[in-house]
Amino acid sequence: MTADSTITLLKESAVLRHEPSTNSSMDGTLEHGVVLPVINESGGWVLVRISNTVQGWLPLWYLESPELTNDQEIAAYFSKETPIYAQESVDAEQIGLAESDSYIPINYESRGWTQIQYDGQYGYVETSAIQIVPLSQIPQEEEIASEEMNGADIPLDHIAIMRQSNQAFLSQPNVFSDILYTASYGQRFAVEKIVYDDAGNEYYRVLDDKGTEGYIETRTAQMANDSISHVGKPQAKSLSEATIMLDAGHGGEDPGAISEDQQTYEKEITLATANTIQKALKAAGATVIQTRTDDRFIELEERAAHSNAAEVDAFISIHYDASPVPDWHGITTYYFHEADESLARFVNQELSTLPLPNNGTHFGNYYVLRENNYPSILLELGYMSNQQDLPYIRSQDYYNQVADRIVNALTAFFQSEADTE
């Protein structure tokens, strides 16, 4: 196909993508029979023009497949043993082999590389080495990314994957119960049900691959299908092009954490912090959306839905921590989707220059991250229960420092994303 040719859409419909990737934002929907001029071709995708001002990308593997009805809910069929790489390069570390005559659900496909989940981590295969088929075509007896545990196939939404190291596989839904063993990072469990302890903490009752029943904390794991719809890369290539959503935690009848002297409410300082960050980002040229700008209660579902509807380039949820252990203090950066680890790393690196201790980046099973389809992180910017952190937490100067660091981090993050194009 040449740059001066045309294609006729023979599918009922097709989604036009902003970048040649199935997790890129949507620029429009095309209907059957439309004739499109081809501008460019790259990595199995074609860049087409639908008007003088609108153009976008279509995957050839979708256009040429009579079976596919969209570029989501897709799977890789391996007709032969196929290497799986840690990164999108044949020179990267090989982390495994996909078995011959097997299927694995696809997270996304981009420029000739397909991301899948393999052995508890993300891996990449060359698109030319696979056949892309509808997810529904996976044979029931071989449903990949499910595990055969106790002689039964387990659907994706009933498989929990451990995302933290050194976590206990418990005999009861209580962190003080007997530990059956320490689960390994990436270990998979068949989920039977969700249960709660007396304090309201949430656990999965699970079976391991040997059929042993036990409990794991839901905060330490993700379900196998949680990241399938997640857009891993921002559309913006610079902070000035970006749309950033700031989520001030809690609000209204939900005060969040409260300082020991009852003088400081988390809901108030998250809003003060978010407002300060908003001003700094706006001054840097970014478009900024806030989930709340006053003292009101907003459901978690609404916060995530707002981000998804706005198709943001980054979502940052602002919180302050608390613990019954008074010595715990410092800053922690959380992410849920592995694709968002890069954003978390850039932000945390800047936050590490603040005067409070830095606790690093960690997986966090928070609703506003888990249900967010766009790059998202949650920041705990200090412990309200710690007397060393509290003076900073109450300080406008601290909010200013946080805002400066976030502007620096996002500037570097978007530049890094642009450099990898």
The mean pLDDT of 179-194, rounded to a whole number, is 91
Residue 220 per-residue DSSP state? G
Structural domains for the chain = 6-64 (2.30.30.40), 74-137 (2.30.30.40), 156-223 (2.30.30.40), 239-419 (3.40.630.40)
Q: Inform me whether the pLDDT recorded for 147 exceeds 50.
A: no
- Is residue 15 within 8 A of residue 46, CB to CB? The reply is no
Place of tokens 């989940």: 117
d(CA 69, CA 86): 29
d(CA 11, CA 30): 9
Please give the mean pLDDT across all residues of the chain: 89
Task: Lowest mean pLDDT of 8-17, 26-35, 198-207, 375-384, name the range.
Answer: 26-35
- Is residue 84 within 8 A of residue 123, CB to CB? The reply is yes
Terminal-residue alpha carbon distance, the chain: 22
Give me the pLDDT at residue 268, please: 98
pLDDT band at 153 (very low <50, low <70, confident <90, very high): low
Q: What DSSP letter does each residue of 168-226 carry, written as one string?
A: EEESSSSTTSPEEEEEPTT-EEEEEEEEE-TT--EEEEEE-TT--EEEEEGGGEEETTT
Place of tokens 């980046």: 361
The 10s digit of each residue's pLDDT in 336-387 is: 998 898 999 999 999 999 999 998 888 999 999 999 999 999 999 999 999 9
The 10s digit of each residue's pLDDT in 217-233 is: 999 999 988 888 888 78
The mean pLDDT of 262-267, rounded to a whole number, is 96
Q: Inform me whether the pLDDT recorded for 139 exceeds 70.
A: no
Q: Which two tokens stand for residue 129?
A: 């080495």
- Is residue 309 within 8 A of residue 373, CB to CB? The reply is no
Give me the pLDDT at residue 3, please: 54
Q: Inform me whether the pLDDT recorded for 7 exceeds 50.
A: yes
* CA-wise closest residue to 368 among 335, 338, 328: 335
Write phi, then psi, for 135 (nearest 5 degrees): -55, -35
The mean pLDDT of 149-175, rounded to a whole number, is 81
pLDDT band at 150 (very low <50, low <70, confident <90, very high): very low
Give me the pLDDT at residue 143, please: 37
Give me the pLDDT at residue 164, please: 83
Give me the pLDDT at residue 105, please: 83
Give me the pLDDT at residue 24, please: 74
* CA-wise closest residue to 3 among 48, 43, 63: 48
Q: Inform me whether the pLDDT recorded for 141 exceeds 50.
A: no
Whole-number Cα distances in Å, 287 to 232, 240, 280, 283, 315: 20, 8, 11, 10, 12
The 10s digit of each residue's pLDDT in 63-92 is: 999 888 888 778 899 999 999 998 999 999
> In one letter, which amino acid is 106?
I
Whole-number Cα distances in Å, 241 to 127, 236, 279, 282, 415: 31, 5, 16, 11, 11
pLDDT band at 238 (very low <50, low <70, confident <90, very high): very high
Give me the pLDDT at residue 166, please: 78
Q: Inform me whether the pLDDT recorded for 198 exceeds 90.
A: no
Q: Which two tokens stand for residue 79?
A: 């007709």
pTM of the predicted model over 0.75: no
Task: Lowest mean pLDDT of 28-42, 242-256, 335-349, name the range.
Answer: 28-42
